Amino acid sequence: EKGGFPHYMLKEIYEQPWVLENTLGGRLREEEGDVDLGLALDPREVERVHMVACGTAAYAGLYGKYLLEALARVPVEWDVASEYRYRDPVVDGKTLAIAISQSGETIDTLEGIREAKGKGARTLGVVNAKGSSLTREVDEVLYIHAGPEIGVASTKAYLAMLAAMALLAVRFGRARGTLSREAAQGLLREMRKLPRLVEEVLEQRPLVAHIAEKYHQAQDFLFLGRHVQTPTAYEGALKLKEISYIHAEAYPAGEMKHGPIALIDEHLPVVVLATRGPLYEKTLSNIQEVRARGGKVIAIATQGDEEIAKLAQDVLYVPEVHPLLAPIVSVVPLQLLAYEVAVLLGRDVDQPRNLAKSVTVE
């Protein structure tokens, strides 16, 4: 049932091209420059969005915040659900609370959405598990169609959630008049390519395994990214922690000099999301700062970027894609890195200690 793979996690990582096809496939309308999500909700009636989720799903929500703000100019608040539910959020009838969940059973997420609903918000669930509790709590559901996820560490559900966030942002942008038809068409063409691009990334597994071999004895890892790649950094660090038990921290790269830079020495591998985009040059300076202090840099960079190879010890290339979609291809090598490191350390990849697939108690 693992389809010839040694672990569910690896099988699920390899299913990702197909999963993206499922999440996006029938919904893209290139001609019109729009997407069809089958939702009754009118994005023009939404004045603010609250993202509510936990763990990996929360990082997908953070990506959604960047995208919705960039493409639809709607203000988005983002919290982990365990904070949201107790912070007495300011909510009204023009608030859309979006809960994101693979299982649809995470108690904090369910309670967060109940809190928003109780205060008059409209609610949308971005969910994988059909008929789960969350789908019954929300006004409407956008299924991510990732198929059953068995590995405790979430991989394919994350990619599908990111794709769902991109779909939502395009729909909101079009409905609210902040995204032109041409710009949307450009994005949709790029989205259509994603399954194939992820396929290409998966071919890099031998190189990822080589990098894992080099660094798997490290005590700590630092992950850095900016803008849409900030959630990618968080997710990369979470995956590594969860299944290898190596301590990993993630920071928005620009925040590094406000503290974490003190950690950097020759023993600290620093994974930097350095794909091409508006903040590329800034990220290069962050890499230089790490190198100047002896840190080892593993860069995730855009195919064809020669410059980065001169700065970083190791480079994992991902295919070129619209900068707002880069997280969808960039997280894949980080999933593989966590996997390869965990296997080298002899960890139980599919059943990491202390973790449950769905957290139904507080």
Applying the rule CB under 6 A, the residues between 10 and 29 that interact with ligand F6R are none
CB of 113 to ligand F6R, least distance (A): 11
Q: Which of 16, 82, 101, 185 binds ligand F6R (CB under 6 A)?
A: 101
Q: Which of 17, 43, 55, 236 binds ligand F6R (CB under 6 A)?
A: 55
Give all strands (DSSP E) within the chain, no chain letters.
Answer: 28-29, 34-35, 48-53, 76-80, 95-101, 122-127, 140-143, 220-225, 247-252, 269-274, 296-302, 314-318
- The span from the CA of 209 to the CA of 221, in Å, is 16
Kindly list the distances between the CA atom of residue 31 and the CA atoms of 102, 189, 193, 198, in Å, as whole numbers in the listed order. Answer: 31, 10, 16, 24
Binding mask 215-254 vs ligand F6R (x if CB under 6 A, - otherwise)?
-----------------------x---x------------
3-state secondary structure of 94: coil
**Which residue in the list 2, 119, 193, 357 is annotated as catalytic?**
357
Binding to ligand F6R by residue 56, rule CB under 6 A? yes
Binding mask 149-168 vs ligand F6R (x if CB under 6 A, - otherwise)?
----xx--------------
* Sign (positive or negative) of CA dihedral 310, 312, 316, 320: negative
DSSP designation for 181 = H
Applying the rule CB under 6 A, the residues between 167 and 196 that interact with ligand F6R are none
Instruction: Compute the half-sphere exposure of residue 316: CA atoms within 13 Å on the CB side of its CA.
Output: 28
CB of 282 to ligand F6R, least distance (A): 29
By beta-carbon proximity to ligand F6R, the closer residue of 106 and 275 is 106
Whether residue 131 contacts residue 26, with contact meaning beta carbons closer than 8 Å, is answered with no
Which residue carries 């960047």 as its tokens? Answer: 66
Size of the site for ligand F6R (CB under 6 A): 15
Q: Which residue is nearest to ligand F6R (CB)?
A: 55
CB of 179 to ligand F6R, least distance (A): 28
- Tell me the β-bridge partners of 125: 99, 141
Start-to-end CA distance of the chain, whole Å, equals: 32
By beta-carbon proximity to ligand F6R, the closer residue of 212 and 338 is 338
Q: Interface with ligand F6R by CB under 6 A: which range of 102-110, 190-198, 210-218, 325-333?
A: 102-110
Whether residue 167 contacts residue 35, with contact meaning beta carbons closer than 8 Å, is answered with yes
CB of 153 to ligand F6R, least distance (A): 4
- In DSSP notation, 208-231 reads HHHHHHHHTT-SEEEEEE-TTHHH
In the numeric block, which tokens belong to residue 154? 């979430």
Binding to ligand F6R by residue 102, rule CB under 6 A? yes
Q: Interface with ligand F6R by CB under 6 A: which range of 52-60, 192-200, 204-212, 249-257?
A: 52-60
CB of 152 to ligand F6R, least distance (A): 6
CB of 156 to ligand F6R, least distance (A): 11
Reply yes or no on whether 357 is catalytic.
Answer: yes
Give all strands (DSSP E) within 21-139, no chain letters.
Answer: 28-29, 34-35, 48-53, 76-80, 95-101, 122-127
Applying the rule CB under 6 A, the residues between 294 and 323 that interact with ligand F6R are none
3-state secondary structure of 177: coil
CB of 62 to ligand F6R, least distance (A): 13
Whether residue 72 contacts residue 43, with contact meaning beta carbons closer than 8 Å, is answered with yes
Q: Interface with ligand F6R by CB under 6 A: which range of 100-108, 182-190, 253-261, 273-281?
A: 100-108
Binding to ligand F6R by residue 82, rule CB under 6 A? no
Any idea which residues carry the catalytic annotation? 357
> Given the rule CB under 6 A, which residues bind ligand F6R?
54-57, 101-103, 106, 109, 153-154, 238, 242, 358-359
